[in-house]
A and B are shown apart, each in its own frame.
Chain A
Amino acid sequence: MSTAMTFGQKQFIPTPPDKGSFPLDHEGLCKKTMTKYMKCLLSNNGNNSLCRDEAKEYLACRMENNLMLKEDFSKLGFKDIESNLKK
């Protein structure tokens, strides 16, 4: 994307993720929750607002299996969802 001809044009500056990188799920421990989330997205025509519960479940699965740092869900933007999965 940045060739010699892009001099003077707007540059895209990538930024690092806030909480770093997700470790890879080699054993597929959270694949079930992922499939649930994908099914929800497909049935809702890609509307993210309706699938936030499944997203929260997936992140909870990641936290349980040590694939993500344990954090309060309100810090991840889920404070409106009441759940007993909250760690």
Chain B
Amino acid sequence: MNRLISISRGHINTLKNNLTGSILAPNKSLRDVVIIRGLHDQKRNARSTLNYVVAIGVMTVGLSYAAVPLYRIFCQAYSYGGTTGHVQADDAISNMTAMKNRPLKIKFNADVASSMQWNFKPQQGDITVVPGETALAFYTARNPTDKPVTGISTYNVIPFEAGQYFNKIQCFCFEEQQLNPHEQVDMPVFFYIDPEFTEDPKMEYVDEIVLSYTFFEAKQGMKLPVPSYVKQ
């Protein structure tokens, strides 16, 4: 055993040349066996190193694939980067208090796509709201044509940073709405501004928020690229 331990990788050649008078290899065959065993050790060490390196490579590739859903879960849990969690607890709404010292003016804007023939406008130009208080607003849409037209809408909030505090409880966006010929309908939006708005330093000088809805036409059988979180 002592003979094997004393043979280190780099010294095989020097041992081979050290023939006569060597205590470590008294006769030729024993010396050869010792050298071969050293070579075998060297191969085994090299192979295990290779295994480790391959394993680390595979783990890195696997981690980079797993990072995508993990990051998404992390962002939703901690509302990082403006994403909001999917579950807005009902008790959050029932427990929030209105901040009467910070009135905000919400302006409403309505647009239609150029090929869309509806008349779409807000019923009120603006309303004054305080964070933490639920508010109701109305839009009106009218179909002046002789055919039923289906529309689908999306919305926008300006300034962008205020959009994360603008929570809609219920509205009429992202789902197809059909209007019969010459029909007029009122569309409500029920929303509130999160009370944390008052604690955001970036929102210190924001007193006006613009909510803008745009209607597009949805033809029968046309598949619109709706966001993945919309319930079909």
Tell me the complex Cα distance, A53–B75, Å: 38
- When distances are taken between beta carbons in the complex, the residues of chain A under 8 Å from B130 are 48-49
Return the contact of A76 from the options B84, B93, B128, B174 (Cβ within 8 A): B93
A interface residues, Cβ below 8 angstroms from B: 1, 10-22, 24-26, 28, 30-31, 34, 37-38, 41-42, 45-49, 52, 55, 58-59, 62, 68, 74-79
**In contact, B154 and A10 (Cβ under 8 angstroms):** no
In the complex, B115 has a CB within 8 A of chain A:
no
B228 to chain A, nearest CB (A): 10
- Find the B residue at minimum CB distance from A79: B94
**In contact, B128 and A46 (Cβ under 8 angstroms):** yes
- When distances are taken between beta carbons in the complex, the residues of chain A under 8 Å from B133 are 48-49, 52, 77
B interface residues, Cβ below 8 angstroms from A: 82-84, 88, 90-91, 93-94, 96, 98, 100, 105, 123-130, 133-136, 138, 154-157, 160-161, 163, 167-175, 177-180, 183, 185-188, 190, 192, 227, 229-231
**In contact, B134 and A21 (Cβ under 8 angstroms):** no
Return the contact of A16 from the options B123, B157, B227 (Cβ within 8 A): B227
Given contacts A24-B177, A48-B128, A49-B100, contact A38 B172 (CB under 8 A): no
- When distances are taken between beta carbons in the complex, the residues of chain B under 8 Å from A49 are 98, 100, 128-130, 133
**In contact, A78 and B88 (Cβ under 8 angstroms):** no
A59 to chain B, nearest CB (A): 7
- When distances are taken between beta carbons in the complex, the residues of chain A under 8 Å from B230 are 16
